[in-house]
Every structure is written in C-alpha cells, then in structure tokens.
Structure 1
Amino acid sequence: MTSNIKEWKRGVKDGIPIALGYLAVSFTFGIIAKQAGLNPYEAIFMSATNLTSAGQFAGLTLIAAMATMVEIAVTQLIINSRYILMSFALSQKIDSNTSLFHRLLMAYGITDEVFGASMAVRGKLSPYYVYGLVSVAMPGWVLGTFLGVVSGNILPSRATSALSIALYGMLIAVIIPPSKGNKLLSGVILVSMVASLLFAKLPVFHTISSGVKIIVLTIVIAGIAAALFPVKEEAIHEG
C-alpha cells in the first residue's frame, strides 16, 4: 500500500507540467465548444470522457458541420487509433499479472503526454504512477474547458476569435518538430495540406461532408505513404 501511494505521488508530481499545458490548450477548446453551440455541461462532459485534443477538436468540427453519428464515430476511431499502439507499448512495461481492472483504468487516461511520461519510467511501470499522472492531467483539461466556455460568454467576440487561433498553433507545434529533417514526413504533410485544400475548394467535392473528407484523406494518404515508404524495423528501434 505504501509503495502504491509513493508511486501515485510521483505520478502527480510528474503530471503537473502536463496539467498546465492541458489548461492552456483546453481553454481554446472551451471557446470553440461554446461557438459550436455546446453548453458548459456538455463541453465538460466531452472533455472528461474523451481525453484527446485532436479527437475533440475534430469532433467539434463535425458537430458544427452537422455530420452523422457514423462519420463522427469513424473519424474518432481513425484519429485516436494511435492510442492502440501506445497501449501495446505500455503493456510491455507493466507487470504481466496486472489485473484487467487496472489495465482498463490505465487505458482511459492514456494520452500522448501521459504515454511519454510513462514510457520514461525506468523498470516496470506501476498503474498507480499512471493514476497519479491522470489525476492532475484530466482535471487540468476539464478546468481549462470550463474556463474557455465561461470566457466565451464574457470576452468580446474579437478576443474570442483571436484566442481560437491557438488551436492552429497547437497543431503546428504537433507536426513541425517531428518533420524537421524527415523528408518523407514533410512530404506527407505537404500532400495532406494540398489535398485538403482541393477537397475544400473544388466544386466536385462540395457534396461530400467534412467527416467523410477527413476519413478519405487520412486512409488514402497514410495508406499510400505506408505502402511506398515502409519504416524499417531498425529505424523503429533507433527511435
């Protein structure tokens, strides 16, 4: 019991920077959620049950575009499929005797940042360390969402629109660092941007909903890149 509490406290300490980062990003999400027509309770519930910035922003875009439930579900499955791979990796760091209950609780809180912090732990990973990370990271995300929704009613419309630009800054921060020095990834990003622009501007694609566009572009571009330029196993281990 003492060891579990110690691991939880260590997770809380390591999770504070994550919570602060989430607070800033989710503030923007709260503003956009307000613009999309969600009330504070709906926005907070969405943040508390769907801990993924990319998935939530995409979900709001689809909701605002009146996409179907199927489109939203498939888009979320594609966008969040990376967490399956993260779970595979983390399953190798935990004790093989870890119960299904603990595995499910850990799976709820896996995000890019929680995964990174968990993988950096030396030796076996304790579920309670992950609980410590999530116990501060998740409230930080939810609190930021709440503040964003409330500010959407208080701040002037111009200020709200200006803060919404932070979303694009977050997305740029996600794709630029890994693309540096990686010609393949840079090419895929460039092709994705051009293809998205064509889908948005060409009249022939106007009848296709935003959800279907995201699904098609993701599967086609990622599939072609994986087929033509597969990542060698040695490169994976070196990374």
Structure 2
Amino acid sequence: MNQRSLQYTTGIKDGIPIGLGYFAVSFTFGIMAANTGLTPWQAIVMSLTNLTSAGQFAGLGIIKAGASLGELALAQFVINLRYSLMSCSLSQKLKEDTPFIHRLLIGYGVTDEVFGVSVCKFGKIDPLYCYGLLSAAVPGWTFGTAFGAVSGSLLPDRIISALSVGLYGMFVAIIVPPARDNRTLAWVVAASMILSFLFSWLPWLRMISSGMRLIFLTVVIAGAAAFLFPFPTNEEDCYE
C-alpha cells in the first residue's frame, strides 16, 4: 500500500467513530423531519448537503413555524458561522501546494468532529486523509437520517416519541460536561435557558418568530459572553 492510500485508509479508520456517532444523532433528526412534514428524500438531501446538527434541528423548527426563507437563511448563517473559522484554521494544516478544488471539497465536510480530529493530527495533513474522514462521517449522518425518516412513518407513535428524547440527551451530553468544569460556560448556558424561556412565555416577546428569536438570542448571548469573558490571550492562562 502506497503512502497516499495509507492516508485515505487512516482517515476512514479515524472517521468510523464519528460516523457511528452521527448515525445515532441523525436517526433522531430523521424522525423529527418526518414529524415536521418532510418526505424521507427531502430529509436525506437536507442532511447530505448540510452536515450540521445544530443548523438542521434549528431549521426544522423554523420550517415548522412557517417562517420565511430569509429567516431560515439568516439563522443558518449565524449558527454555522463557526465553520468558516474552522475551515480557515484547517487550511493552515494542509500542504501549501494543495489545489483549491481540494480545499473547497474538504470545506464542504468540515464539522466540529472532523475539524477536531484533523487539527489534532501531527504535522501537515494530506487531502486524502480528510477524504477518508468524510467517507465515514458523511454516510453515517446521511444513512442515519434515512433510517430515521423511514422509521418515522412505520414505527408506532409511542416508540417514535421515546426515540425523540435522544435529541435532548445529545444536547445534555454536549453541554453538561464542559459546563461543569467551566463556570463561564455554565453561566452562558443558564442565561440561554432563562432568556429562551422568557421569549417563549412573555406575550410581547412570544410574538417574535422562532427564526428571529433564535438569531437574536444567539448573537446577543454569544456577543455578551465574548465581551464580558474574553478568552485569555496568554496560553498559560488557558489551563488555570
């Protein structure tokens, strides 16, 4: 096996855990997409072209609320803006002579997990390694959505309702461990929960559409946290 083939197979091997995790989460997304009114093919295309759990789940809520395409597009821009920063950082890990087409194709598949695995790899990375990661991650997310969307029309309502709880379990698993170790993050999570509740409960705030509500809260809370609790510039302070 030559070096380039080894890079691709190594990427697949490193991407298998990502793909398995994606399958579990996207299965819940497929069920929710079917409950929202999307056909299985619509849900599959949505997952294949987006690859963003937070953006897709938020998109379902906006679609269900009947919001405008402008709100949907703006919400996706705000929620997925972090991927632009990840792509800029990941581009520094690629070899300088990497063609633009490879950078463009790799950018399509940049997610939190793919980025985390790629940047932690020692030295410069070969595009084939990234393609190996995507070869495991993308099918995991897409096939999970397909199985969930089809199951949503076959399984009894009680089982679908039980499986839908998996979404909230995923959010708890993502939020609780880092919030437990980081007081600033814990306050941000608490503020998000309180403000989201107020926007859903107070009559004069409840009138705001779900899409604009999501955009406003994301920008305000993230901006306030960045201003009040800036990330330390001294590398040693990061580990205090």
Q: Scaled by the length of structure 1, what TM-score is found?
A: 0.96
In the alignment, is residue 135 of structure 1 matched against residue 130 of structure 2?
no
Distance 2:16 2:237 in 1: 29
Distance 2:111 2:221 in 1: 24
Which residue identity lines up with residue 77 of structure 2 in the other structure? L
Aligned match of 2:169? 169
- Structure 1's 235 and 214: CA in aligned 2 closer, same or farther, altered over 3 A? farther
Distance 2:187 2:235 in 1: 18
Distance 1:152 1:60 in 2: 15
What pairs up with 1:3-82 in 2 under 5 angstroms? 3-82=3-82
Give the gaps of 5 or more residues in structure 1.
Answer: none
- Structure 1's 214 and 95: CA in aligned 2 closer, same or farther, altered over 3 A? same
Deviations 1:181-222 (A, max 9, x none): 211111011011000000000001122100000111111111
Distance 1:44 1:167 in 2: 18
Distance 1:235 1:37 in 2: 48
Tell me the secondary structure at the aligned position of residue 122 of structure 2.
coil
Aligned match of 1:215? 215
Deviations 1:123-177 (A, max 9, x none): 1011110100101110111111111011111111011011111111111111122
CA deviation after TM superposition for structure 1 residue 98, in Å: 1.1
Distance 2:166 2:32 in 1: 11
Give the gaps of 5 or more residues in structure 2.
Answer: none
Counterpart contact for 2:29–2:148, Cα < 8 Å? yes
CA deviation after TM superposition for structure 1 residue 100, in Å: 0.8
Distance 1:237 1:20 in 2: 35
CA deviation after TM superposition for structure 1 residue 237, in Å: 8.4
Distance 1:235 1:61 in 2: 39
Which residue identity lines up with residue 61 of structure 2 in the other structure? T
Give identity over the alignment, percent: 54
Distance 1:41 1:79 in 2: 24
Aligned match of 1:234? 234
Deviations 1:10-62 (A, max 9, x none): 10111111111111111000000000100011000001000011111011111
Aligned match of 2:89? 89
Aligned match of 2:160? 160
CA deviation after TM superposition for structure 1 residue 238, in Å: 4.3
CA deviation after TM superposition for structure 1 residue 235, in Å: 4.5
CA deviation after TM superposition for structure 1 residue 232, in Å: 1.6
Distance 2:150 2:74 in 1: 30
CA deviation after TM superposition for structure 1 residue 4, in Å: 2.0
Tell me the secondary structure at the aligned position of residue 180 of structure 1.
helix
Supply the RMSD in Å over aligned alpha carbons: 1.5
Distance 1:122 1:220 in 2: 36
Q: Scaled by the length of structure 2, what TM-score is found?
A: 0.96
